[in-house]
Chain A
Amino acid sequence: MELEEMKLAWNDLSKRVEKQEILNQQMIEKMTKDQYHNNLKKIALPEYIGTFICYLGAAYLSVNVPKLEEPLIQFFGVISIALLLILPIISLQSVRAMRKVNLAAQTYLETIQVFGEQKLRFQKLQKLNVSLGLFLMVIGVPVLLSIQGVSLNPTPLFWMLYFPLGVMFFLGFSYWVFKYYNRKLKATERILAEANE
């Protein structure tokens, strides 16, 4: 299909569309109400719930970690608290960045560039978030078991088998996550490169 043929097909489409009435006055009024747009805020709801849960977990560990006796487990506990505080911030930051765009003031090209850059940033943050989350899972287990009073020293299988397996799973999964996000990042970088051509 040549460009001129495309123009003819587009004109056919335009004629059809013009014949139809899509919206009435009431619908337009409903669409302009903030009430509708507030629904978009629900997008961030899972992130807010996740933040609350993480902070509850951090509070629980903060109360219990000082009671632990083993220095290694205490160290894991402190790292877990730090991760529980940092992970939600990363997540919320990426959601917030999506909202700061003035769609009327920017040109189409500028919007593609902002879109690409935000997407790139979002994907990088997600990559970091998933990796740190997995790491938290691995180091969090011995901490939680110790808090529950389960001593890990008499169970050599834990340190010799389960923990190394957990670490290996973490490394394997992280590798897969990195590959997945690297593919996505490349696709986004292509959008930006094409926009800047």
Chain B
Amino acid sequence: MDIKEHFTKVIKANEGLIYKITTLYTDEKQDRKDLYQEIVYQLWKSFGSFHEQSKVSTWMYRVALNTAIFHLKQSKKRPVTIPFELEMDRLTDESDKAEEDRIKLLYEHIQQLNLLEKGIILLFLEGKSHEEIAEIVGISISNVGTKISRIKEKLKSQIKKNADYGT
């Protein structure tokens, strides 16, 4: 299998992961598409040097999350995009309302976290171990536990605040 074929296979297997990251780090549809393309491009750029030194998922999360941060800076200066569909609506056609509301609420909560917490919570929700989160984020394993506890507290106070304001 040549490198391009291998890369395509890796991307195809993980396109959902890229999608989820783009939805967490952008607010608009067009912006989301731009970030999606940029992540694929950055993954391709580092694919040659990656050589499976770490797990595919660790490398992917690291590049995708790092790209998302830098996209925040450039999002107002958009390059031309390759046309493709990337719509949450498409994913919610036959879904039930309660599930959709739950997902919306989830996004609302995550959007209120800071950049570091956002990355950690995403990896936590993806079911990554503390070891893997520590490797991707660059903090100690014990610090991962501390940060997750703090996020829990923060979420609780957010819920309380929202309840107080009647939202």
Interface core residue of A16, A20, A30, A101 (most chain B CB under 10 Å): A16
Interface bracket on A: 35 or more
Given known contacts A2-B155, A17-B16, A22-B15, A112 and B116 CB-to-CB distance under 8 angstroms: yes
Q: Is the CB of B138 within 8 A of A107?
A: yes
Minimum CB–CB distance for B31 against chain A, Å: 15
Minimum CB–CB distance for B5 against chain A, Å: 9
CB-defined contacts of A160 to chain B, threshold 8 Å: none
Q: Which of A5-13, A58-66, A81-89 touches B?
A: A5-13
A5 to B33, CA, bound (A): 28
CB-defined contacts of B141 to chain A, threshold 8 Å: none
Q: Does A161 contact B (CB under 8 A)?
A: no
A182 to B106, CA, bound (A): 33
CB-defined contacts of A16 to chain B, threshold 8 Å: 91-92, 95
| Interface residue from A2, A39, A43, A107 paired with B136 (Cβ < 8 Å) | A107
Given known contacts A13-B103, A22-B84, A30-B82, A108 and B125 CB-to-CB distance under 8 angstroms: no
- Closest B residue to A116 by beta carbon equals B115
| Interface residue from A6, A17, A30 paired with B19 (Cβ < 8 Å) | A17
Minimum CB–CB distance for B66 against chain A, Å: 4
Minimum CB–CB distance for B41 against chain A, Å: 5
CB-defined contacts of B86 to chain A, threshold 8 Å: 22
CB-defined contacts of B44 to chain A, threshold 8 Å: 31-32
Q: Does B114 contact A (CB under 8 A)?
A: yes
A107 to B133, CA, bound (A): 10
Render A180-196 as a binary contact track against B, CB cut-off 8 A, 1 for contact. Answer: 00000000000100110
Q: Does B4 contact A (CB under 8 A)?
A: yes
Which of B59-100 touch A at CB < 8 Å? 59, 62-63, 65-67, 69-70, 72-74, 77, 79-80, 82, 84-86, 90-92, 95, 99
Shortest 8 CB-CB contacts between residues of A and residues of B:
A107-B138, A104-B46, A39-B79, A17-B16, A32-B44, A10-B125, A109-B138, A9-B106
27 inter-chain pairs at a CB distance below 8 angstroms, sorted by A residue, are A1-B102, A2-B152, A3-B155, A6-B121, A13-B103, A14-B20, A21-B15, A27-B82, A30-B82, A31-B41, A31-B44, A31-B82, A32-B44, A40-B79, A43-B74, A98-B73, A104-B49, A104-B66, A107-B137, A107-B138, A108-B62, A108-B65, A111-B69, A115-B70, A115-B72, A118-B73, A194-B115
